[in-house]
Structure 1
Amino acid sequence: MKRTLIALVGAISLSACAQAPQPADAAKTPAATTQPAAARPAANTPEARAVEAVRQLNPHVEVERVGAAPLPGFREAVVAGQVVYVSDDGRYLFLPGAGGALFDVNAKKNLSEAAMAQMRVELLKTIPASERIVFGPPNPKYTVTVFTDVECGYCRKLHSEIAEYNRQGIAIEYLAFPRMGIGSEDYKKMVSVWCAPDRKTALTDAKNDRALPNRECKTTVNAQYDLGQRVGLTGTPMILAADGTQLGGYVPPKALREALDRLAAEKAPATGAAAAPSGG
């Protein structure tokens, strides 16, 4: 499978439950690096800068075509089967579509994600701490929010490793996202979990296909589901850092700790100190 530009800069696909894990050999196979002749325009042209911008983000993808765009000030390129738009100065790359994003090529930064992160922080505040199901160590270094579903395979895999996330110093705060929709059997199970006297045990039981008593009560499951849609969720699980940064779908414990450490280090120069870890 060809690596995409968006994967390179860290916007990991959230549709984890709809995807099969990649074979180990596939992950080791590099994508083609030879650019076709059509992607080698004359130097110092908008087309040449467009190709160079793509290569800066990911030198392994294939630029299949580059030419005029319907968007003024941009070139249109076909990259690894995707249409992207690059500003004529090569500074910005726009990836259209449902998961579209605008990248600063020089900074290798997803500008759309940065804007979304700020909004997510405010939206997450609308769900009280008492409505989250928290699995965490006594003194977590990091706390992440995870939108979860009791049926999703990758959600179950993440939960099966909850002790290791905690050993990595990470607290997991679960919010509900019944992916089958409001009123579905999946939704009813999640309401039963949130209505249980011991939510942590009920959630674990539900993810292990253990029978749950049907319960109904006043919950924020509907609000959590709505919130998931508003923060850009397209599949479960969805992991958000304390600053609203999307860290992916299923991410193994060690890799998640490394990602959180990198995020903290990136923020350190701007504040003059290490980013303050969130409490649990």
Structure 2
Amino acid sequence: MLRFALAVAFGTLSLTACAQQAPPAAKVAASSSASTTGGGPAEQKVRTALQQLDANFKPDYIGAAPFPGFREVVVSGQVLYVSDDGRYLMQSQPYDIQAKALVNSEGLLSYRRGLLDKANHGDRIVFAAPNAKHTISVFTDIECGYCRKLHQDIAELNRNGITVEYLAFPRMGLGSKDYTDMISVWCATDRRKALTAAKQGSPVPAKNCTNPVAMQYALGQQLGVNGTPAIFAADGTQLGGYLPPAQLKAALERSGR
């Protein structure tokens, strides 16, 4: 499988890893239309090259990279950069020296926004700021120490005009105790209270209902989440893992979202 081939080539890459991450990325407009089917000669060369690694390769997204001569490819949540001639492959987010920031293409951000829109607002656990200026989508679990640290900052984030919308990402996987506990939280009468209690280490009363936990977990995987917390701005920029409130606010203001 392509994921295995890439793991051999690059080793395991953790995007969030329950830790503080690199600065947010600058946005660069794509030089050609994003696509998952069809495409021009460069896209076809990229598809052919990747099929040499995995005959069953099916991209989630292919579009122009934020620098010339490459296509930006998302497969199994991983972002790759493949040269237009199909010869070279890289797995590292580019850095814009002039902007002094990591860089994302508008095509990739649009792709992420489309995925995030699949998670209904009513299925999220929302801690709304009274005068919201920014909204972040946070993939979380109830065990991760940095998730708990972020949750302790909720009041400060809200005071800074940041609304926090939680999505479930039981990092121990489906079928784990983390997973069943998160179902119980999402099925609680007061989900906000239940989530806060769980993140404070209180036992989680068992509950079950029709719930979005598995769907949100799968969505996180599509977005490349493999650790928690994973924070996304409204424009699709992945802000990384835990950031103190002041740094998170500054990152959102730089991204314009």
TM-score (norm 1): 0.59
Q: Which residue of 1 aligns with 2:18?
A: 16
Higher relative contact order (CA 8 A, sep 6+): 2
Aligned residues: 182
1:261 to 250, 253, 256: 253
Q: Which residue of 1 aligns with 2:186?
A: 194
User: Percent identity over the alignment?
Assistant: 52
2: CA distance, partners of 1:16 / 1:113: 25
1: CA distance, partners of 2:100 / 2:114: 25
1: CA distance, partners of 2:95 / 2:214: 33
Alpha-carbon deviation of 1:162? 0.6
Q: CA-to-partner distance for each residue in 1:156-205, whole Å, 9 max, x for gaps?
A: 00001110010111000000000000010000010000000000000001
Q: Does 1:96 align with 2:98?
A: no
Query: Any residues of structure 2 matched to 1:237-256 within 5 Å, and which?
Result: 237-256=229-248
Alpha-carbon deviation of 1:138? 1.7
Contact 1:95 1:102 in 2 (8 A): no
Query: Any residues of structure 2 matched to 1:16-55 within 5 Å, and which?
Result: 16=18
TM-score (norm 2): 0.64
1: CA distance, partners of 2:191 / 2:249: 25
1:129 to 103, 121, 125: 121
Contact 2:15 2:225 in 1 (8 A): no
Alpha-carbon deviation of 1:139? 2.1
1: CA distance, partners of 2:103 / 2:171: 28
1: CA distance, partners of 2:187 / 2:198: 13
Contact 2:185 2:191 in 1 (8 A): yes
Unmatched 5+ stretches in structure 1: 1-11, 22-72, 75-84, 88-93, 265-276
2: CA distance, partners of 1:201 / 1:124: 24
Q: CA-to-partner distance for each residue in 1:204-257, whole Å, 9 max, x for gaps?
A: 011111112101111111110000010111210011000000111001111111
Give the letter aligned to residue 217 of structure 2. Answer: Y
Unmatched 5+ stretches in structure 2: 1-13, 22-68, 71-80
Q: Which residue of 2 aligns with 1:4?
A: none
Q: Which residue of 2 aligns with 1:41?
A: none
2: CA distance, partners of 1:258 / 1:207: 26
Q: CA-to-partner distance for each residue in 1:66-125, whole Å, 9 max, x for gaps?
A: xxxxxxx99xxxxxxxxxx9x9xxxxxx9934xx33455555565556443211110111
2: CA distance, partners of 1:113 / 1:253: 26
